[in-house]
Amino acid sequence: MANSARQADAAATQAATNKASKYSQLASTHTFYPVAIETAHTWHSQAVEVIEKIGGRATVITGDPNETMYLFQQLSMALQRGNAVSFQSTFATS
């Protein structure tokens, strides 16, 4: 990404644009939110929006006002674990 050095969310924005384009044929029957998160934990604005909506609905069900925060934490941990596995697999096994 050429713009990644200049703009914090450039890679996430490009990934979100690519995903929206890929699934554009579903627009008449589905609501689509591209969830794009950069390795440095920069979230695309639509990803933040949909996670907040899901967290808000979970709060209504459970009554716990921290549901949105928990969801963000879980997704952040999943990203970190994925990054660790990807990084670890670059080492020689012998």
Q: What is the pLDDT of residues 4-36, one digit of tens each?
A: 656 667 777 888 888 888 888 888 898 888 887
pTM: 0.68
Taking only Cα atoms into account, the Rg of the chain, rounded to an integer number of angstroms, comes to 16
**Could you give the percent of the chain with pLDDT greater than 70?**
87
Number of H helices, E strands in the chain: 3, 0
DSSP, collapsed to helix, strand or coil, labels residue 37 as strand
What are residue 65's DSSP bridge partners? none
The contacts of residue 23 (CB under 8 Å, 6+ apart) are 30, 32
What is residue 55's predicted lDDT score, i.e. its pLDDT? 95
C-alpha dihedral (44, 46, 47, 49), degrees to nearest 10:
130
> CA-to-CA distance for 8 and 3, rounded, in angstroms?
9
Find the Cα–Cα–Cα–Cα dihedral 25, 10, 35, 90, rounded to 10°: 110
Amino acid occupying residue 82: G
